[in-house]
Amino acid sequence: MTYIRSTFRHPALPKNELGYTVDYYEGSLSTLCAGCGHDSINAAIVEACWQLNIEPHKVAKLSGIGCSSKSPAYFLSNSHGFNSVHGRMPSVATGANLANRDLTYFGVSGDGDTASIGMGQFVHVVRRNLNMVYLVMNNGCYGLTKGQDSATADMGSKSKSGSVNLFEAIDLSSLAIELGATFVGQSFSGDKEQLIPLMKAAMKHRGFAFLNVISPCVTFNNNVGSTKSYDYVREHVQVTGTVDFAPMMHEITTSYEAGSVNDLLMHDGTEIRLHKLAKDWDPLDRISTINAMQKAKAKGEILTGLLYVNQDANDLHDVLSTTDKPLNSLPQSALCPGFEALEKFNASLR
């Protein structure tokens, strides 16, 4: 645990288009265990927001309960955050978003928070295509309650105490695609190069953007035999070699090998570039994605990158036909029908 952060900032720290250096996007000091995957993801969030030139106060950070859900305190200290109730972040995000459609909603959850107690709310927020980023820091266990198996722990995976998980794992990404999620990405906390562009694309997506990020728990689930350990994940990501479907903001270059390229225009006019390396798999085609994921599962591989994207679906505001102005900004004059209308109403009740 690093409790003391140096206040020294290199004077030549680069600035983004808004004139902010990256530290402007940081949060308070993390109290997570040293080496916890969640901290790397938080660092990636900071970097992604800085690169995207986002005004931090135009972001709302929401979470449930868990080590992962503490994260909103650790990035974007100029954003409002809500560390809410275990498994209920989706509902809070839904209400918040309905109240003010102009903010960017960044939700952080854990695998326990999402796949167990929060499963009901998760599936429904997907269905509603709420315009938000929903990031699961997936470590296959309940970190904050000291390491119990979660519902995303693979069958046969061994915990630190040596017990073997006997239940089928819930694959959140497949589930999200099944339920009609319009943006689904998968990544690994240790792969910043992939994670940052993926997050940026997710924030640019209008609709529900789901990011399932494997994020090892160094304290309770990083042992030999665990399928969510750093070693295991690194090996299996490398072995399958499918870290190739990261969307790129056009101004960003990466070291990913170029293959066939597909530029995708986001709603605000920015583009993401899909580098497509696998045959028979088009992230714009849901069926091909589902097939690829089923095949990977059979082979024990972890697919990472942008798995699926659909830019054309209506988000919740479209469906409800809400006004373009944030509901929380409407003046009393637009809301209250007033005395005269009430008198007419009374007359209809006699």
Ligand X SMILES: Cc1ncc(C[n+]2csc(CCOP(=O)(O)OP(=O)(O)O)c2C)c(N)n1
Residue ranges in contact with another protein by CB under 8 A: 28, 31, 55-58, 60-62, 72-73, 77-85, 88, 90-100, 102-103, 120-121, 123-124, 128, 316-317, 320-324, 327-328, 330, 332, 334-339, 341-343, 345-346, 349-350
If the CB atoms of residues 120 and 300 are measured against another protein, the closer one turns out to be 120
Contact flag: residue 137 with ligand X (CB under 6 A): yes
Question: Within a 13 Å sphere around the CA of 346, how many CA atoms are in the beta-carbon half?
Answer: 6
77-106 positions binding ligand X, by CB under 6 A: 86
- DSSP letter string over 245-274? B-EEETT---SSPP-EEEEEE-TTS-EEEE
Contact of 197 with 248, CB cutoff 8 Å: yes
**Side chain identity at residue 175, one-letter code:** L
Measured distance CA(232)–CA(8) in Å, rounded? 37
**Are 199 and 45 spatial neighbours (Cβ–Cβ below 8 Å)?**
yes
DSSP label at residue 89: H
Q: How far is the CB of 222 from ligand SF4 (least distance, A)?
A: 8
Question: Quick check: 139 binds ligand SF4 (CB under 6 A)?
Answer: yes
Nearest to 184 by CA among 198, 170, 169, 197: 198
* Closest separation in Å from C-beta 160 to ligand X: 13
Binding string, 208-227, against ligand SF4, x = CB under 6 A?
Answer: ---------xxxx-------
How far from each other are the two terminal CA atoms of the chain, in whole angstroms? 71
Which residue's CB is nearer to ligand X, number 161 or number 255?
A: 161
Cβ(136)–Cβ(130) below 8 Å: no
Does residue 244 interact with ligand X by CB under 6 A? no
Pick the closer one to ligand SF4 by CB: 148 or 311: 148
Q: Are 22 and 9 in contact (CB under 8 A)?
A: no
The amino acid that residue 267 corresponds to is H
The SS3 of residue 27 is coil
Q: Which stretch binds ligand X (CB under 6 A): 63-71, 97-105, 125-133, 156-164?
A: 63-71
* Contacted entry of ligand SF4, ligand X, Mg ion, none for residue 219, CB cut-off 5 to 8 Å set by kind: ligand SF4
Please pick, from the candidates 145, 314, 328, 329, the single residue that binds ligand X as defined by CB under 6 A: 145
CB of 189 to another protein, least distance (A): 21
Question: Which DSSP string do the residues of 227-242 spell out, in sequence order?
Answer: TTSHHHHHHHHHHHT-
Query: Site for ligand X (CB under 6 A): which residue of 143, 197, 207, 283?
Result: 143
Q: Contact 212/122 with Cβ under 8 angstroms?
A: no
* CA distances (Å), origin 49, targets 2, 84, 200, 246, 260: 23, 23, 7, 17, 28
Query: Among the residues of 24-105, which ranges form H helices?
Result: 37-51, 89-99
112 versus 283: smaller Cβ distance to ligand X = 112
Binder of residue 36, out of Mg ion, ligand SF4, another protein, none (CB less than 5 to 8 A by kind) = ligand SF4
Residue 28's binding partner, choosing from ligand SF4, another protein, Mg ion, none, with beta-carbon cut-off 5 to 8 A by kind? another protein
Residue 341 touches which of ligand SF4, another protein, ligand X, none (CB < 5 to 8 A by kind)?
another protein
Pairwise CA distance, residues 50 & 244, whole Å: 23
Which residues in this chain contact ligand X in the complex, by CB under 6 A?
Answer: 65-68, 86, 110-113, 137, 139, 141-145, 150
Residues within the interface to ligand SF4 (CB under 6 A): 32-33, 36, 38, 67, 139, 143-144, 217-220
